[in-house]
Chains A and B, each alone.
Chain A
Amino acid sequence: MANTDYKMPIYLQLREIIRNKIEEGEYLPGTAIPSENKLAETFGINRLTIRNAVDALVNEGLLRRVQGKGVFVVGKKNELSIEEHAGFVGSSFENDPRISIKELQKSEREAGNKYANLFGLEVEDEIYYIRQMHSINNAETSIEEFFIPKNILPSLDVINSSVFTFRDILSFYGIKLKKMTQSLRIIKGSAKVRKMLNVPDGVAILLLECDFYNENNTVIAHSISNIRSDIQSFTVSLHK
């Protein structure tokens, strides 16, 4: 990028500042940049100018504006070696604007016996844990849980996947997936889960579990989804 100098229009200078912060990794892919108010305060410029600078980067595809949530850094997409739409695909899920995601919990925790065995870690090693509520048309549809070893991602903050999918995040950080195994079963579901999802009596829950493998055939992430079967169905394609 051309050097910025003081004669350049302010919005162009700010654009280059933000671009540099992204390139230098201060603003991580998947995370939100500071709010317009915060930027206005930091640089002592008005919000309209901030918006011009941000708009330019949004148009370049470097940032993404999300209504009511902020402006997020879009990572450079590395090729995920497995097909984007392969596996069980929620019928009304992909790129559906009516989907909203709420983060219920995001923390670091001990791997524990189960995940130590799954990821090949020690029991006391730490993993990230994220729990989200996904809604379609304002109806709670599924509770999604992700488990991922700490060394796979730079920080927990990048998984604000209310904007990006989990697969997007993996691709931003160059984590190549070699294989994914999924299982889909019908269960009654625990009373707690049924209550959170407002599942009507007599309606079953779909339990979708997924293991993600890297090129060394090691499991690098695990997900568990409890899904209302009366709201969502799945399609799957086969190519022999």
Chain B
Amino acid sequence: MNKTVSRIQPGMEAIEKLEDFIKVNRLKAHTRIPCEKDLCDLWGVSRSTLRQAVDELVENGVLYRVLNKGVYVAESRYPRDMAGVSAMVRDLIDQGNEVTKKIIAVNEIPANKQIARNLRVKLGTKIYKIIKCRSINGIPCTIETTYINAERYPGFIDHYSDDVTMDPIFEEYYNTYQTSGTERINVTYATEAEAEMLQTEPGLPMFFASGVALDQNGEVVMYYKQLIRSDKFVFVCTVES
């Protein structure tokens, strides 16, 4: 009997061929892919199989449909890695993007239980709470809330503005270098207020990343929560030995 193991399921094959087609031809965002009929002829798959494959890649955010026009390559998502926000901003700018930030609120608050635990300080310690919104190429993409121990970093907010990032301030004024950290990644859905700030629909899925950054002595530098549009970002991570 012949071994029939090697055939790929048609549905899966069509998806893989589409993915490979985009990659090999280096198709840019908003490029229209060939029409259904041409692709079916090219690959010898049925119309319904191809349509299902396209559907799946639309649901996965790789392609998008325009009614009566065709199927297009979706914009690739910006990578967000663990090298920190400064590195992310630098990379995005290097790739030719315009990145802007707007501070929405700066407050001095006493640490509540949750903040105190994360910053490893006593309840009631004076804390700076900074909320900001970051836009890429004019599209608001993230809302970030940062908690900083005001007793450890006095006057931090006097140095901070829309035009500077936090890392250089820690380095220059406090000799603090962020060297490690742990982050938790969840999925949340935009509330009405968040959706308005991000100019999107309420209920849009978003990454909710929260974590602490530690300095060269293992002391907590900050505790942060970041809301990130899932249609704009992909979390990436490289582990090397």
In the complex, the answer to whether A204 meets B205 with C-beta atoms within 8 Å is yes
A109 to chain B, nearest CB (A): 5
In the complex, the answer to whether A88 meets B60 with C-beta atoms within 8 Å is no
B69 at interface, CB cutoff 8 A: no
| Number of residues from A at the complex interface, CB < 8 A | 47
Task: Mark out the residues of chain B between 1 and 59 whose CB falls within 8 Å of any chain A CB in the assembled complex.
Answer: 5-8, 13, 16-17, 19-21, 23-24, 55-56, 59
How many angstroms from the CA of A89 to the CA of B239 in the assembled complex?
12
Task: Mark out the residues of chain A between 90 and 138 whose CB falls within 8 Å of any chain B CB in the assembled complex.
Answer: 91, 107-110, 112-115, 117, 124, 126
Residue of A nearest to B59 (CB): A188
In the complex, the answer to whether B239 meets A204 with C-beta atoms within 8 Å is no
A180 at interface, CB cutoff 8 A: yes
Encode A171-209 as 1/0 by CB contact (under 8 A) with B: 000000111111111111111000000000010101100
Residues of A within 8 A of B197 (CB): none
A132 to chain B, nearest CB (A): 16
Residues of A within 8 A of B182 (CB): 235-238
Partner of A233, one of B8, B55, B185, B240: B185
Known: A233-B184, A235-B182. Contact between A88 and B17, CB under 8 A? Answer: no
Residues of B within 8 A of A234 (CB): 184-185
B182 to chain A, nearest CB (A): 5
In the complex, the answer to whether A181 meets B237 with C-beta atoms within 8 Å is yes
How many angstroms from the CA of A114 to the CA of B79 in the assembled complex?
22
Residue of B nearest to A85 (CB): B239
Task: Mark out the residues of chain B between 204 and 241 whose CB falls within 8 Å of any chain A CB in the assembled complex.
Answer: 205-207, 230, 234-241
How many angstroms from the CA of A29 to the CA of B187 in the assembled complex?
37
How many angstroms from the CA of A183 to the CA of B17 in the assembled complex?
21
Interface centre among B21, B56, B84 (most CB of A within 10 A): B56
Residues of A within 8 A of B77 (CB): 185
B179 at interface, CB cutoff 8 A: yes
Residues of A within 8 A of B55 (CB): 190-191
B11 to chain A, nearest CB (A): 9
Known: A179-B240, A181-B237. Contact between A189 and B59, CB under 8 A? Answer: yes
In the complex, the answer to whether B185 meets A236 with C-beta atoms within 8 Å is yes
A128 to chain B, nearest CB (A): 10
A45 at interface, CB cutoff 8 A: no
Residue of B nearest to A113 (CB): B20
Residues of B within 8 A of A82 (CB): 239-241
In the complex, the answer to whether A183 meets B236 with C-beta atoms within 8 Å is yes
Residues of B within 8 A of A86 (CB): 239
In the complex, the answer to whether A110 meets B8 with C-beta atoms within 8 Å is yes
Residues of A within 8 A of B79 (CB): 183
B191 to chain A, nearest CB (A): 14
Residues of A within 8 A of B83 (CB): 238, 240
In the complex, the answer to whether B187 meets A112 with C-beta atoms within 8 Å is no
Partner of A117, one of B6, B7, B20, B241: B20
In the complex, the answer to whether A207 meets B238 with C-beta atoms within 8 Å is no
Known: A109-B6, A188-B59, A236-B185. Contact between A204 and B230, CB under 8 A? Answer: yes
A215 to chain B, nearest CB (A): 9
Task: Mark out the residues of chain A between 124 and 174 whose CB falls within 8 Å of any chain B CB in the assembled complex.
Answer: 124, 126
Provide 7 A-B residue pairs closer than 8 Å at the C-beta atoms, listed in order of the A residue. Answer: A109-B8, A112-B16, A114-B20, A188-B59, A229-B187, A236-B82, A238-B83
B residues in contact (CB < 8 Å) with A: 5-8, 13, 16-17, 19-21, 23-24, 55-56, 59-61, 77, 79, 82-84, 178-187, 189, 203, 205-207, 230, 234-241
A residues in contact (CB < 8 Å) with B: 81-83, 86-88, 91, 107-110, 112-115, 117, 124, 126, 177-191, 202, 204, 206-207, 229-230, 233-240
**Known contacts A235-B184, A238-B183, then 13 further A-B pairs from the complex at CB < 8 Å, ordered by chain A residue:** A88-B237, A109-B8, A112-B20, A114-B23, A117-B20, A182-B237, A186-B206, A186-B230, A190-B56, A191-B59, A236-B237, A237-B183, A238-B82
